[in-house]
Amino acid sequence: MYLTQGLHRMLQMNPAALATVFRGRRRSYGELAARVARLASGLQGLGMQVGDRVGMLGLNSDHFLEYMLGTWWGGGVLNPVNIRWSVPEIVYSLDDCDTRILLVDDNFLHMAEGIASMAKVRPVLIHAGDGPAPAGMLSLEQLIHDSAPIDDMARGGNDLASIMYTGGTTGRPKGVMQSHLNLWSSAVGRMAEHNITPNTSVLHVAPMFHTACMARVVTQVIVGQPHVFVPTFDALDVLRTIESEKVFDILLVPTMLQAMIAHPDFGKYDISSLKRLTYGASPIAAPVLERALELMPGIEFQQGYGMTETSPVISISGSENHSAAGIANGRVRSAGRPALCVTVRVVDEAGIEVPRGTVGELIARGPNVMLGYWNRPEETAEALRDGWMHTGDGAYMDEDGYLFIVDRLKDMIVTGGENVYSAEVESAVAGHPAVAACAVIGVPSEQWGEAVHAVVVLKPGLEVSSEEVIAHCRQRIAGYKCPKSVDFVNALPISGAGKVLKRELREPYWKDRKHGVN
Amino acid sequence: MYLTQGLHRMLQMNPAALATVFRGRRRSYGELAARVARLASGLQGLGMQVGDRVGMLGLNSDHFLEYMLGTWWGGGVLNPVNIRWSVPEIVYSLDDCDTRILLVDDNFLHMAEGIASMAKVRPVLIHAGDGPAPAGMLSLEQLIHDSAPIDDMARGGNDLASIMYTGGTTGRPKGVMQSHLNLWSSAVGRMAEHNITPNTSVLHVAPMFHTACMARVVTQVIVGQPHVFVPTFDALDVLRTIESEKVFDILLVPTMLQAMIAHPDFGKYDISSLKRLTYGASPIAAPVLERALELMPGIEFQQGYGMTETSPVISISGSENHSAAGIANGRVRSAGRPALCVTVRVVDEAGIEVPRGTVGELIARGPNVMLGYWNRPEETAEALRDGWMHTGDGAYMDEDGYLFIVDRLKDMIVTGGENVYSAEVESAVAGHPAVAACAVIGVPSEQWGEAVHAVVVLKPGLEVSSEEVIAHCRQRIAGYKCPKSVDFVNALPISGAGKVLKRELREPYWKDRKHGVN
């Protein structure tokens, strides 16, 4: 199988069917395929050879999809650039996998010079609009127009489809090698279990460089349904687009949903076409879910849990958990059950499966598991053992196969012989009305081995003492889980992917010791 | 991926769920998995090593499924025996792929001695009932009971899953090598497009050794839903079982459907649970469809077109064609559109795609295409070119991507420069009220190159002349398509798979010539 196959199928069956919608610009599958066949040739003209990595630094748009399909059609490999990263991080990821071509869209021109001065690759500035390109830029329309269409190279199966850079909270980003089979099997397996409704459109609002949105794009290409794009999340833009394009399915992170339903103009838009909302990154908070169900009755919620290394879905929590019953039985906090064709186990350090309800490391195996990390045999061997992806996530499984993620294992604190999951403590600390953000880490303790320590950012103008924070926690979680100490800071160190860099928080405490900083 | 994965998943999520129903015997997925883990060990005890072929000659039952899963679990490869074949044909297929173990169920004891005297493998006679096995037989229950469960060998991906013998109309049967990925991708791709309804049972009534039924079994294993079995087709048995087990989905060939709806007791059974009827082998006749839709309102018909070499589905004709509209626009006669993830082309002899509406050879590519024919590199190279399976079927595609199969290419007759499809002529001849069966072949002709020749079996007690048959055809099809000559015979030569052996019909005419006999 190969990831442009669905494009050929639509070209054969229904070339007039709607393929892409962006800012009112609508193209059919026939038009999309014709553009892709030319763009592939244009990319080859820019130097792309079979297997070469092609990066794109851009916001969501129909052009981003054309970049994906054009690269694959021409035999290349994607390296979509994390738009949240700084120039040095981007340069690292480009150089690490010898990216041959980097396309930069109009939105990121300000970064191009910095990248050009540091990276091995020379950025190609793409002017996506009509009319001639400004000086120093390449007109995408001109490139497509001037390039003769070529046959699909039809790379597929275990051939590399993308190198997605991930991590950064624990060191240098790693390039996750996803094959065509990885992405295809994840998409098709998901569809097999969670019915895709024919002739419905999906709105791509989460960033397309990210594995979650890319997986949704791949799905829509395989089934040949319409893609609708907004460049980046904006609650009003999303509401407007759902109404105007009768969007059926959307992929969000919970904070986007929150912003959407909290928007003062929420009620002014007819979003009754929206029937499914898939979200990832973390379980949804019960009050947000309740409000969303109230405002959007009949909508089906679906949580996908996974990671780039699993292309990406490991488990799915369906609508049965996103209901009054799911809130009551606690399964709204679950990451769901193993996706079709993904085998999941929760194991101890020796790799032995632990009893249900016991926390261990979640490992997963299936056709969706990455080929490995680019040029990192040691990290690959560490992550992939006998085909099992070791997620690093601490989790337990209940009697019915529902998974509950408790923490990153490396963020787990062992204090006085007890395991404390920082995520649980953070949830308790964050419940204090004066707390804007927090992170909980383990710090060295003569008495406890590690002691629970909270780092807190206060809301503007509010104050609270360490004692008050700890007392607040004591009413919510067991005593041994409560912070023994609290630091107040102005901001938490955040990675390009938006995750708290606990490594940096831990460093001053552990710098003279071996354990604890990773 | 590996084909026992769904079994593990059900064991983890819902071991109490119903797995198999046969003659009132009901077993859960937990029980099934436990039996399979022991049977796998039992098969190893009988000599099965990793990669060894294990045959089964048996009727449909829960034990047939256990044989499939037990063989895979223990690292073996299926070689399900065609129950319609004669002993020499069976022996040929067993010996051809060095089948290590052959299980023979109670229904085929009469063939065991013949097989034992000719084949390299020694048949193991399986007593499937309770109580001690008769002399010379092995109790399946005892074998399962006495064998300690083993871990799944978890062979998968491109590992061989089955060798299915096919052909025989054109020479010796060939062993089609299907990998785990072949069977898995066909099943999952089909589900992705044609929604599987959760917690519904399927009735396995077509013979399980056949690729069509096996594919349906594989699907049901992957999703972990109940399998219901009847040993062999019997209209009353099928009606009774649909009612008692609330069967949702059934796979049939059109003649079975005809027999079912024609049964005098049809109306006595509540078969309202049945919502989908999948059929294969040939398009359904419009009158049968109309009657079926009348008797089973709301049922969704689905035709699958394919072959063993494509594991098996190439295209699917859905409910839109099984309707008054489909009858009116002729698409009821279509083989549907390419299945998700299968690429189909209709090509000329040079491999160039022909225009829509033009007949050529149907070729298909995708993850479902077989690894090749066992030990037959030449036939494999002939059938698989650049990954394309050359089906040997003559077909055309309409503007909307619907495929219409016109004939086996080798059964096509070239007469006076015109192509005549024997299937079309046979349909005209068969319409004569005195004709019970017929086959149309090309015979040598000085004048036309080939001349259309019909071989006819008359209905008992009826008579008709050659001239009358030809005149009947003239009213229905173009003159050049009508038979120039007609032979009357008592019976047509039929292969083990139920297909007319046209090779044998052609042989006396062509024996001194090179062309025409294949």
- Residue B205, pLDDT > 80, answer yes
Percent of chain A with pLDDT over 70: 97
pLDDT top residue among A280 and B241: B241
Name B277's Cβ contacts closer than 8 Å, sequence gap at least 6: B249, B250, B252, B257, B292, B296, B299, B300, B301, B302
CB contact under 8 A, A341 and B192: no
Kindly report, residue by residue over B172-199, the tens digit of the pLDDT: 789 999 999 999 999 999 999 887 788 8
Contact B361, B347 (CB under 8 A): yes
DSSP B459-493: PTT----HHHHHHHHHTTS-GGGS-SEEEE-S---
Q: How far does A3 lie from chain B, in Å, by closest CA?
A: 9
Which pLDDT belongs to residue A171? Answer: 63
- Helix or strand or coil: residue B391? strand
CB contact under 8 A, B5 and A366: yes
> Which of A95, A98, A73, A80 minimizes the C-alpha distance to A163?
A80
Among chain B residues, CA nearest to A199: B193
Kindly report, residue by residue over A367-385, the tens digit of the pLDDT: 999 999 999 999 999 999 9
- Helix or strand or coil: residue A462? coil
Q: How far does A165 lie from chain B, in Å, by closest CA?
A: 25
Instruction: Please state, in angstroms and as integers, the Cα–Cα distance from residue B91 to each residue in A132, B95, B121, B234, following that order.
Output: 73, 6, 9, 28
**For residue A465, with 0-12 CB atoms within 10 Å meaning exposed, 13-18 middle and 19 or more buried, which class applies?**
exposed
Residues of A in contact with B369 (CB under 8 A): none
CB contact under 8 A, B13 and A337: yes
How do B53-57 and B77-80 pair as beta strands?
Answer: parallel
Which pLDDT belongs to residue B307? Answer: 94
Instruction: Please state, in angstroms and as integers, the Cα–Cα distance from residue A337 to each residue in A65, A423, B134, following that order.
Output: 30, 21, 46
Count of CA atoms in the C-beta half-sphere (13 A) of A29: 23
β-sheet bridge partners, residue B203: B228, B250
> Averaging pLDDT over each range in A129-138, B143-152, B256-265, which range is the top one?
B143-152
Residues of B in contact with A300 (CB under 8 A): none
- Residue A515, pLDDT > 80, answer no
H helix runs in A23-158, sequence order: 29-45, 62-73, 87-96, 109-118, 140-146
Q: Residue A280 and residue A290: Cα distance in Å, rounded?
A: 17
**Out of B9, B184, B222, whose CB is closest to A338?**
B9
**Out of A1, A343, A366, whose CB is closest to B185?**
A1
Q: How far does A366 lie from chain B, in Å, by closest CA?
A: 6
Residues of B in contact with A188 (CB under 8 A): 185, 188-189, 192, 340-341
Mean pLDDT of B68-78: 98
In words, the CATH class of domain A1-196 is: alpha beta
pLDDT interval class at B89 (50, 70, 90): confident
Name A286's Cβ contacts closer than 8 Å, sequence gap at least 6: A327, A332
Query: Which of A3, A4, A9, A276 to mutate: most B Cβ within 10 Å?
Result: A9
Q: How far does B376 lie from chain A, in Å, by closest CA?
A: 24
Task: Please tell me if the domain spanning A1-196 has the same topology as the one spanning A416-510.
Answer: no
Token output for B12 = 């983890």
Kindly report, residue by residue over B435-483, the tens digit of the pLDDT: 999 999 999 988 888 999 999 999 999 999 999 999 999 998 888 899 9
- Residue B405, pLDDT > 70, answer yes
Which pLDDT belongs to residue A168? Answer: 54
Q: Residue A185 and residue A340: Cα distance in Å, rounded?
A: 10
Mean pLDDT of A158-171: 83
CB contact under 8 A, B188 and A344: no
Average of per-residue pLDDT values in chain B: 92
Which pLDDT belongs to residue B217? Answer: 97
Which pLDDT belongs to residue A518? Answer: 43
**Out of A9, A185, A337, whose CB is closest to B343?**
A9
Which pLDDT belongs to residue A321? Answer: 93
Q: A203-212, A331-340, B124-133, B255-264 — which is least confidently predicted?
A: B124-133
Homologous superfamily assigned to A233-408: ANL, N-terminal domain (3.40.50.12780)
CB contact under 8 A, A341 and B188: yes
Angle at which helices A29-45 and A5-13 pack, to 10 degrees? 140
Helix (H) or strand (E) holding B223: helix B211-223
**Out of B1, B8, B366, whose CB is closest to A185?**
B1
Residues of B in contact with A340 (CB under 8 A): 6, 9, 188, 222-223
- Helix or strand or coil: residue B248? coil
pLDDT top residue among A128 and B63: B63
CB contact under 8 A, A222 and B343: no
- Residue A508, pLDDT > 90, answer no
**Spans of all domains in chain B:** 1-176, 416-510
- Helix or strand or coil: residue A162? strand
Average of per-residue pLDDT values in chain A: 92
Query: Which of A3, A4, A7, A13 to mutate: most B Cβ within 10 Å?
Result: A13
Interface of A with B (CB under 8 A): 1, 5-6, 8-9, 12-14, 157, 181, 184-185, 188-189, 191-193, 195-196, 222-223, 337-338, 340-341, 343-344, 366-367, 397, 400-401
Which pLDDT belongs to residue A478? Answer: 87
Kindly report, residue by residue over A6-64, the tens digit of the pLDDT: 999 999 999 999 999 999 999 999 999 999 999 999 999 999 999 999 999 999 999 99
Among chain A residues, CA nearest to B11: A401
Query: Which of B2, B3, B4, B5 to mutate: most A Cβ within 10 Å?
Result: B5
DSSP class of residue B442 equals E
pTM for this predicted structure: 0.90
Residues of B in contact with A5 (CB under 8 A): 341, 343, 366
Interface of B with A (CB under 8 A): 1, 5-6, 8-9, 12-14, 157, 181, 184-185, 188-189, 191-193, 195-196, 222-223, 337-338, 340-341, 343-344, 366-367, 397, 400-401
pLDDT interval class at A414 (50, 70, 90): confident
Contact A63, A39 (CB under 8 A): no
CB contact under 8 A, A13 and B401: yes
Name A18's Cβ contacts closer than 8 Å, sequence gap at least 6: A26, A27, A28, A29, A201, A226
Residues of A in contact with B17 (CB under 8 A): none
- Residue B265, pLDDT > 80, answer yes
- Residue A496, pLDDT > 80, answer no
Phi, psi of B304, deg, nearest 5: -105, 130
Which pLDDT belongs to residue B270? Answer: 96
- Helix or strand or coil: residue A250? strand
pLDDT top residue among A185 and A508: A185
Q: How far does B493 lie from chain A, in Å, by closest CA?
A: 39
Which pLDDT belongs to residue B518? Answer: 43
Cα-only R_g, chain A: 23
Which pLDDT belongs to residue B511? Answer: 80
CB contact under 8 A, A13 and B338: yes
Buried b (16+ CB within 10 A) or exposed e, B119-130: bebebbbbbbee
Under CATH, which architecture does the B416-510 domain have?
A: 2-Layer Sandwich (3.30)
The question of ipTM being above 0.85 is answered as yes
Token output for B316 = 């699917």
Residues of A in contact with B396 (CB under 8 A): none
Token output for B485 = 């000559």
H helix runs in B75-178, sequence order: 87-96, 109-118, 140-146
| A313 φψ region: left (φ > 0), alpha (ψ -120 to 50), beta (else) | beta
Query: Which of B4, B11, B13 to mutate: most A Cβ within 10 Å?
Result: B13
β-sheet bridge partners, residue B394: B361, B407
Residues of A in contact with B340 (CB under 8 A): 6, 9, 188, 222-223
pLDDT interval class at A412 (50, 70, 90): confident
Contact A175, A97 (CB under 8 A): yes
Q: Residue B476 and residue B478: Cα distance in Å, rounded?
A: 7
Homologous superfamily assigned to B1-176: ANL, N-terminal domain (3.40.50.12780)
Name B308's Cβ contacts closer than 8 Å, sequence gap at least 6: B164, B166, B176, B178, B211, B370
Residues of B in contact with A353 (CB under 8 A): none
Q: Residue A280 and residue A252: Cα distance in Å, rounded?
A: 7
Residues of B in contact with A195 (CB under 8 A): 195-196
Which pLDDT belongs to residue A275? Answer: 95
**Out of B184, B192, B367, whose CB is closest to A191?**
B192
pLDDT interval class at B392 (50, 70, 90): very high
Buried b (16+ CB within 10 A) or exposed e, B342-366: bbbbbeeeeeeeeeeeebbbbbbbb
Among chain B residues, CA nearest to A11: B401
> Which of A265, A260, A156 minimizes the C-alpha distance to A218?
A156
Among chain B residues, CA nearest to A223: B340
CB contact under 8 A, B1 and A367: yes
H helix runs in B263-376, sequence order: 286-295, 324-329
Kindly report, residue by residue over B125-180, the tens digit of the pLDDT: 999 877 888 888 999 999 999 999 999 999 999 999 999 998 655 567 899 999 99
Which pLDDT belongs to residue B170? Answer: 54
Among chain A residues, CA nearest to B182: A1
Token output for B394 = 């003559």
